């Protein structure tokens, strides 16, 4: 199935789960400033990275996302003070765990990006899209029925 997707001119589909207070605004800034970045991300806005259930990431992969990007406020800048600090532990363990299971490590990416970093947001998206393109279409854990 995935070979067919490459033939059909496959382009990575990336679910970006981002925090409302920083990265979402950063994406907005990138847009207003007319900074170009690949159109492969589908942005999902959440109130804080602390709100992200690891299930969101695993489900996105199951539902056919080729990659997942999670981005929130830099440590120390979380709107809810410590949401991203708790999230960081959770994500660190999740990322290593998914890799351990044999899922490609580069399919899940975690980063920080503030509201003023439109430039950085564009760079992150380009970088992640490129990494996922290298991996090719997701085959593992993808629901087929």
Q: With respect to other proteins, which residue has the nearer C-beta, 9 or 33? A: 33
Beta strand 14-19 with 67-72: parallel, antiparallel or unpaired?
parallel
Helix, coil or strand: residue 111 = strand
Residues 6+ apart with CB under 8 A from 121: 23, 26, 27, 29, 30, 37, 71, 113
10: contact with ligand FES by CB under 6 A: no
Q: Are 13 and 100 in contact (CB under 8 A)?
A: no
Task: Choose the one of ligand FES, other proteins, none that binds residue 73, judging by a C-beta under 5 to 8 angstroms depending on kind.
Answer: ligand FES
What's the rounded Cα separation, in Å, for the pair 49 and 16? 12
Q: How far is the CB of 9 from ligand FES (least distance, A)?
A: 36
Q: Using the rule CB under 6 A, which residue among 48, 61, 113, 115 binds ligand FES?
A: 48
70: contact with ligand FES by CB under 6 A: no
Name residue, tokens 């959440």: 46
Q: How far is the CB of 94 from other proteins (least distance, A)?
A: 7
Q: How far is the CB of 10 from ligand FES (least distance, A)?
A: 32
What's the rounded Cα separation, in Å, for the pair 47 and 49? 7
Q: Using the rule CB under 6 A, which residue among 72, 104, 109, 132 binds ligand FES?
A: 72
Q: With respect to ligand FES, which residue has the nearer C-beta, 15 or 46? A: 46
Going by C-alpha positions, the residue among 90, 85, 77, 89 that lies closest to residue 117 is: 77
Binding site for other proteins (CB under 8 A): 54-55, 58-59, 62, 75-76, 82, 85-86, 88-104, 109-112, 120, 123-124, 126-128, 140-145
């Amino acid at each position: 199935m995935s070979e067919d997707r490459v033939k059909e001119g496959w382009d990575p589909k990336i679910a970006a789960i981002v925090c409302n207070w920083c990265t979402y605004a950063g994406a907005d800034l990138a847009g207003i400033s007319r900074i170009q970045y690949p159109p492969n991300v589908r942005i999902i806005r959440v109130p804080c990275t602390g709100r992200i259930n690891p299930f969101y990431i695993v489900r996105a992969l199951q539902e056919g996302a080729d990659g997942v990007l999670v981005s929130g406020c830099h440590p120390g800048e979380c709107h809810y003070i410590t949401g991203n600090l708790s999230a960081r532990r959770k994500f660190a363990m999740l990322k290593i765990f998914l890799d351990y299971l044999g899922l490609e490590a580069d399919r899940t990416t975690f980063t920080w990006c503030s509201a003023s970093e439109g430039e950085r947001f564009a760079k992150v998206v380009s970088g992640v899209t490129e990494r996922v393109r290298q991996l090719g279409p997701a085959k593992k854990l993808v629901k087929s029925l």
